[in-house]
Amino acid sequence: MEVGARIHIPVSVAETAISRRFDTIPSGTLYPNADEIEYLQRLVKYKDSALLVLNKPPKVPVKGNMPIHNSMDALAAAALSYGYDEGPKLVHRLDRESSGLLLMGRTKESIAHLQLLFSYINKAQSKCQAWNDACEATYQRYWALVIGSPKDKEGLISARLSKVLLDDGKTERVVLAQHSSLEPSRDAVTEYRVLGPTINGCSWIELRPLTSRKHQLRVHCAEALGTPIVGDYKYGWFVHRRWKQMPRVDIEPSSGKPYKLRWPEGVDIQKGSVLAKVPLLHLHCRELVLPNIAKFLDVLDGKSENVHPALSSRPDLLRFVASMPSHMKISWNLMSSFLV
């Protein structure tokens, strides 16, 4: 280097203002304490030779641009190896503020096959028809509480997404792609279904992503449906402000009489629920169905033409359901008498 030389640093490198709570620790020197190990192991819902399934709590980062002390991937790699030489690796992502089922692969082979499957759900194919059928049956279902209600009670959202930088030159945002835009875009497809009537200006909906894109469900809800998810201030700030300021009186579906949410005794509604001053994000990966990859792995890797006899009695599909975090349970209970 010479005096006066200019160095251009990408925004992703320059923006390293990470709070002390997320101090960086080299993954090779990360040793979780006993409480962290016990906590992580309580989150594990299922474990076999090929994969792990966890119920991720909200406000826990899954993975950053660099290892951080309490990210799920760093802690899992250090605490959930269960006798393997290496810890499990992420197969797909959940946003930091969201919760629910998180899938991790335990071997290089299973990670590669599962990542291919989740890059575009139902598209991972092989010569094994049973595996192909299992891939076709793969799905994720999310539950979300949104502000307002979609115009149609169910439907398919097919809206391409692109990434843009805001005026500050640092903040990245995912938006619906414009036909005239020069920004690169990727296809994004989501099925949705409304679970009940509008109560307190909000509706519960079920979301089934058919592609796996960053912030796909949040942008599809906010921009394609016009109903941002409760607690999603990144994509629904103005709607939140208007929603909180509006006096609302809903109509009971059964009697047709005015109805307003009642504050239940003994429940702290301020813990991020729909009635809190600042609700937490109400987006939860509730259900996951995927192929039993431990059964098919030898066939997929070409080590065998048929499933091993010892594994033939195992199911082709695995199904998991995860309970909602506490703030969503409170909101659900407040509105549950009107849900289908």
* Residues with catalytic function: 95
Asked if residue 40 lies in contact with residue 79, where contact means CB atoms within 8 angstroms, the answer is: yes
Asked if residue 156 lies in contact with residue 191, where contact means CB atoms within 8 angstroms, the answer is: yes
Give the contacts of 254 (CB within 8 A, at least 6 positions apart).
Answer: none
Asked if residue 118 lies in contact with residue 110, where contact means CB atoms within 8 angstroms, the answer is: no
Task: Give the DSSP letter of residue 307.
Answer: -
Exposure of 139 by Cβ count < 10 A (0-12 exposed, 13-18 middle, 19+ buried)?
Answer: middle
Dist CA 30 CA 155 (whole Å): 45
Tokens of 246: 């509006």
Dist CA 119 CA 91 (whole Å): 9
Q: How many of the other CB atoms lie within 10 Å of CB of 261?
A: 17
Dist CA 214 CA 218 (whole Å): 9
Complete DSSP assignment for 4-21:
T------HHHH-----GG
Task: Give the DSSP letter of residue 68.
Answer: B
Q: Can you say whether the dihedral through the CA atoms of 186, 236, 227, 267 is positive or negative? A: positive
